[in-house]
Structure 1
Amino acid sequence: MSSPRSLGPRYSSFGEKKRSQNGERAWWMAGQKSILTPEFLITMSSSIRNRLLEFFGLRANVVALLVAIVVIGSGEELWMRFIPKYLEVLGAGALVIGLYDGLKTLLGAVYAYPGGIIDDAWGPRRALAFFTGLSIAGYGLVFAVPHWGAVLAATFLFLAWSSLSLPATFSLVGKNLAPEKYGMGIAVQSIIRRVPVMVGPVLGGALMDRLGFRRGVRIAVLVSAALAAVAILVQRRISSDARGARAPSPRIGAAFREFSPELRHLLLSDILVRFCERIPFAWVVIYAMAQPGIGAQQFGLLTTLEVTTAIVCFIPVAYLSDRYGREAFVVATFVFFTLFPLFLLEAESAAWLAAAFVVRGLKEFGEPARKALIIHYSSGPRQGQIIGAYYLARDLTVAPGALLGAWLWHLGPRMNFAGAFLCGVLGTISYVFVLWRRRARPARPSIG
């Protein structure tokens, strides 16, 4: 039988080995307790928080802007998507509805460039508050005068926020984030814009189903005005020096001349694809609500389905496009733009409508990549003006698409949707062709 010494020089007995193991375990646990101090946990939590903020591009000025976007959007989405139907209820004909849609596109174009100038001159804080105040005035006119003529007049005011502020939202990303984070910055902004779209149309549709379109819209407009007033307070948190370096004097000709060849090519394809979107845009709500079982609330649910689909795509696609290049994702989004009217051609049931709205959500697949390319191509001291000029050229050209859509609608919904599909095909092919020609040339530095 072995003596206790035969167990080895370290342990003279089993009891001593056990006591040593217990001591080592106690020493390890004491070390863990010394590590898991409140100070260590706070430091670790702060490190994780900072990494998340950096990953999503959430700088202080950007966060203030995002909060304002959510607050204003939560009010506008209660009623703004129902305006074509509201105009119809107020006695407007098809041409008036088409005129509203064209006016909305036209103002989106015309307002973008002066919005960039005002942002450069005043800085984001004062400019955004001014734009919000104009929108509140428009809400007041819609509430006070329930007539389609008043709604058209108010359009010049209540579109101020969404249209005039566009260059500011882009330039804030460009000035606060590194180029390799542009896609992520735009993706987060796109998600935040769509959070109200997921809820607002459902609540607004329920309100109108319960109270009727006239009364329901007026109450929704009051809520919108109150939320916009809150947004002005939020916008005051944007730093007063966020405008950066002083921009050159506003000269629209100079802004167009500074377009790079890549930006011009993107603009041409974007115009054709936006015709695909604009031709059926005002008529989608009327077409959908004409189907059996589809009321205002059900249309709101379809809109929620669309927005949810888009939101699921934004972050992973933005990460991949920032990392591996953006052009392929722009091609994908143009394809989905093109497919939406094709699906509407067959959407004669709730199931087909749901599928069509999923495709409509997927058309946002590459939007962060497209907008990141615009920011990249427009970088420089005149960035706000170039971005505004881009949207001025695009939306001024596309504005007649609403009237074209009204004319095609008179010929029948299928003619409207087929015409839109054709425009989408042309836009997608032109962009792919330009990319193919560019890559067939000698290698150039990556822009992605």
Structure 2
Amino acid sequence: MNTWPAIARFLALRRNTSLLLGALVLALTGERLWLGFAPKYLESLGAGILVIGLFDALQTLLGALYAYPGGWLTDRYGQRRSLLFFNALSLAGYILVLLWQHWLALVFGAFLFLAWSALSLPATFTVVATSLEAGRHTMGVGVQSMVRRVPMMLGPLMGGWLVNHFGWAQGVRWALLGCILLGLLTAAFQWFMVETRGSSAETKTAPAAARPATFVEVVKSFSPALRELLVSDILIRFCERIPYAFVILWAMNHVSLNAQQFSYLVAIEMITAMLCYVPVAHLADKYGRRPFVLLTFVFFTLFPVTLLWANSFFWLAAAFVVRGLKEFGEPARKALIIAQATPELRARTFGAYYLIRDCVVTSGSFLGAWLWSVSPSANFIGAAMCGALGTLWFRGFGFRRPQNH
């Protein structure tokens, strides 16, 4: 009789966290129905390599630019109203891409349909930080990350089926219709959230005058440990971003996979990641987070290396297992950010961290496009070099200070 309440307590499933998880599943399933196929869809609409690189750069840049306003809105207006507003922006973007089938629609629409995902990150971190004690933050983030991977797996499978059966133009159109429907259901989940103003007593202990209000002051509040993590994270994200938009082109153009087969690779990646989250989160909370963050940086570095020899579905599947393992220590990395953030500035700290990181890493998309124009091998080797630098930086500087839960 008491099993389910015990599980809910263990996973920190309160009213708002449960509704937020439901909203995440619906919104991300809609997004992943088609967004992973966007580079190939752009190519089918006549876009060149530079346009594909631009679209990939926009995903990173807009995610960064929306992150801090997302944190500010969450701190000021609460999760419910902020999430509803950004969901409305996303729906407008999907409608634009649905009605105007041109590569320019994806470029302009990105300013709208990427809005909700960017806002949800600071909001999700804030929910974890205020729902759990410090020693369980990694588990809280791990559960959220695991739930996020469900739509990341299901969306491409369904989207790949639509593209295979209806072709690129009509298949993506059906995927966008499904995305809009799921976006409306997401709004229903958000509507029933209870508005909160930062439930924790921590917020009350800090007088308003003592809270930095500007972006610069929030950045100045970063601890030395958070700054060291940020530098290594930037290098690692260059490793991820340089080949990101071109992995699907490698799989479909060089290995001759179809959309359905590529969706199987994504499913392999997501299953691998999901199997890691809870056990690794438990171990990281118990024994310390930094070794697990270091391991995840190693897997980031290995993925582009494995692509160099991935000339068949089997070897691509092995590469995507490595890609899934790069999530090995991601909850631990996010928990490190939570641990280093000033309590009353959490959402803005998360937003500022991601704004700085992703604004810098945006150039990685253009660098990736240039390296790809040289050769796929140049792209993959350049990415691996950035990953190695980030891993060495974190090992050299990230372990100098006492571990902090």
The corresponding residue for 2:272 is 309
Q: Secondary structure at the match of 2:343?
A: coil
Match of 2:191 in 1: 236
Is this contact kept in 2: 1:57–1:184, CA < 8 A?
Answer: no
Per-residue Cα deviation, 1:62-105 (whole angstroms, up to 9, x for no partner): 11100000011121111010011111000000000000001110
**1:117 and 1:250 in contact (8 A); partners too:** no
In the alignment of these two chains, the number of paired residues is 397
Match of 1:332 in 2: 295
Deviation at 1:236, TM superposition (A): 2.1
Task: Give the equivalent residue in structure 1 for 2:78.
Answer: 123
Deviation for aligned residue 1:249: 6.6
Between 346-355 and 273-282, report the one with greater CA deviation.
346-355
Deviations 1:415-448, CA, capped at 9 Å, x for gaps: 000000000000000100113433xxxxx4x413
Structure 1 residues 125-175: Cα deviation after superposition (integer angstroms, max 9, x where no partner): 111111111100000000000000111000000001111221111111111
In structure 1, the residue matched to 2:320 is: 357
Instruction: Give 2:381's aligned residue.
Output: 418
Alignment check: 8 A CA contact 2:290 2:399 kept: no
The yes-or-no answer on 1:408 pairing with 2:371 is: yes
Report how far residue 292 of structure 1 moved: 4.2
1:35-434 alignment to 2 at 5 Å? 45-46=1-2, 48-244=3-199, 245=203, 248=211, 250-434=213-397
Where does structure 2 lack aligned partners over 5 or more consecutive residues?
none
User: Quick one: percent identity of the two aligned structures?
Assistant: 51
Deviation per CA, 1:193-223: give whole Å up to 9, x if none: 1101221111111111111111111111111
Q: Residues 310 and 362 of structure 1 are in contact (CA less than 8 Å); yes or no, is this contact kept in structure 2?
A: yes
In structure 2, C-alpha distance between the alignment counterparts of 1:71 and 1:256, rounded to whole Å:
33
3-state SS of 1:91 partner: coil
Whole-Å separation in 1 of the counterparts to 2:113 and 2:63:
11
Q: What is the rounded CA distance, in whole Å, between the counterparts of 2:337 and 2:399 in structure 1?
A: 19
Over 3 Å counting, the alpha-carbon distance change for 1:381 and 1:94 in structure 2 is: same
Q: Distance in 1 between matches of 2:290 and 2:368?
A: 29
Partner of 1:32: none
Counterparts of 2:188 and 2:134 in 1: how far apart (Å)?
A: 30
SS state at 1:373 partner: helix
The answer to whether the 8 Å contact 1:57/1:181 transfers is no
| Distance apart, 1:294 and its partner CA | 1.1
Counterpart-to-counterpart distance in 2, 1:302 and 1:360: 10
| Cα contact 2:75–2:197 (8 A) shared by 1 | no
Assess, with a 3 A threshold, how the Cα gap between structure 1 residues 303 and 423 changes in structure 2: closer, same or farther. Answer: same
1:258 and 1:283 map into 2 onto residues whose CA distance is 37
TM-score normalized by the length of structure 2: 0.96
User: Greater shift after overlay, 239-248 or 143-152?
Assistant: 239-248
Tell me whether 372-381 or 276-285 shows the greater mean CA deviation: 372-381
Give, in whole Å, the separation in 1 of the partners of 2:232 and 2:189: 37
**Which has the higher relative contact order, 1 or 2, with Cα contacts under 8 A spaced 6 or more apart?**
2
Deviation, 1:290, is 1.8
CA distance in 1, matches of 2:274, 2:160: 21
Offset of residue 334 of structure 1: 0.1
User: 3-state SS of the aligned residue for 1:389?
Assistant: helix
Confirm or deny: 8 A CA contact 2:268 2:320 kept in the other structure: yes
8 Å CA contact 1:119–1:243 kept in 2: the answer is: no
8 Å CA contact 1:124, 1:243 repeated in 2: no
- 1:212 counterpart SS class: helix
Give the 4+ runs in structure 1 shifted more than 2 A. 48-51, 241-250, 435-438
Instruction: Return the alpha-carbon distance in structure 1 between the equivalents of residues 138 and 345 of structure 2.
Output: 21
Unaligned runs of 5+ in 1: 1-44, 439-443
Mapped partners of 2:384, 2:391: distance in 1: 11
